[in-house]
Structure 1
Amino acid sequence: MNIFVGSLPYNVEEADLREYFEEYGEVTSAKLITDKFTGRSKGFGFIEMPDDEAAQKAIDELNGAKIDGRSIVVNKSEPKPQGERKPFNRNGGGNRGGFSNSRDNNRGRY
């Protein structure tokens, strides 16, 4: 079972995360999600456990547990439906800015 773990303190490392879940059974992988530019933890990660019963027990007992004073969120990870992802817009359209030659939009600045 793939498990989402959120609201983690930023000082938690993958080895720590693995250790928390190994108390409930075998952990095949532990992955913290990090910022690709800074390498700093984003405060969430994923655990993979082959035994669904052990994984569910870990979810039930660790959800809401405190680590360094923070209550963590633990639940079964569900994959995102492919159809709901928005395409990447390279032109910066919409309300997010983008380039415009219009004098009115740029208030007289070029």
Structure 2
Amino acid sequence: MVKIFIGGLADNIQEMDLAVFVSLHGKIETIKVVRDRATGKCKGYAFIELLNIEDAKNIISMLNGETFKGNVITVKLCEDEAPKKSFKPKPAGVGAASQAYKSKRPRVQR
């Protein structure tokens, strides 16, 4: 799947309107208009997934800088997202974890 970004959308945009506008230039698999949770209004951008890169390139070349519902839109290919790092503790015996446990509290001399 290839993902493209569309920015500069009006706040009252509907998914179907955008789908009809974009589908003239390539076959759409999924569409996600990003909305404000409180108001339900479009935040000004959307993501569209396509099956092949040729459709994505065609959509980008045909629609980037065009006017849609009174706004000039930006259309570009989404860069691959870096995988999110998750915390994984090191197994015992590896690196700092193998050192003897040290309390964070200083010991009081008696």
Give the alignment's TM-score, normalised by structure 2: 0.69
Change (3 A) 1:12 1:82: same
Query: Residues 32 and 69 (structure 1 numbering): CA distance in 2 closer, same or farther, change over 3 Å?
Result: same
Q: Percent identity?
A: 33
RMSD: 1.7
Per the alignment, residue 34 of structure 1 pairs with 35
| Deviations 1:53-87 (CA, angstroms, capped at 9, x unpaired) | 01101001100000122110000012443579xxx
Deviations 1:15-68 (A, max 9, x none): 111111211221001110001122111010001111210110100110000012
* TM-score relative to the length of structure 1: 0.69
Equivalent residue, structure 2, for 1:11: 12
CA-to-aligned-CA distance 1:82-108 (integer Å, 9 cap, x gap): 579xxxxxxxxxxxxxxxxxxxxxxxx
Residues 26 and 58, structure 2, Cα contact 8 Å, conserved in 1: no
Q: Which runs of 5+ in 1 are unaligned?
A: 85-110
Q: Distance in 2 between matches of 1:35 and 1:82?
A: 25
Q: Map of 1:1-110 to 2, 5 A cutoff? A: 1-81=2-82
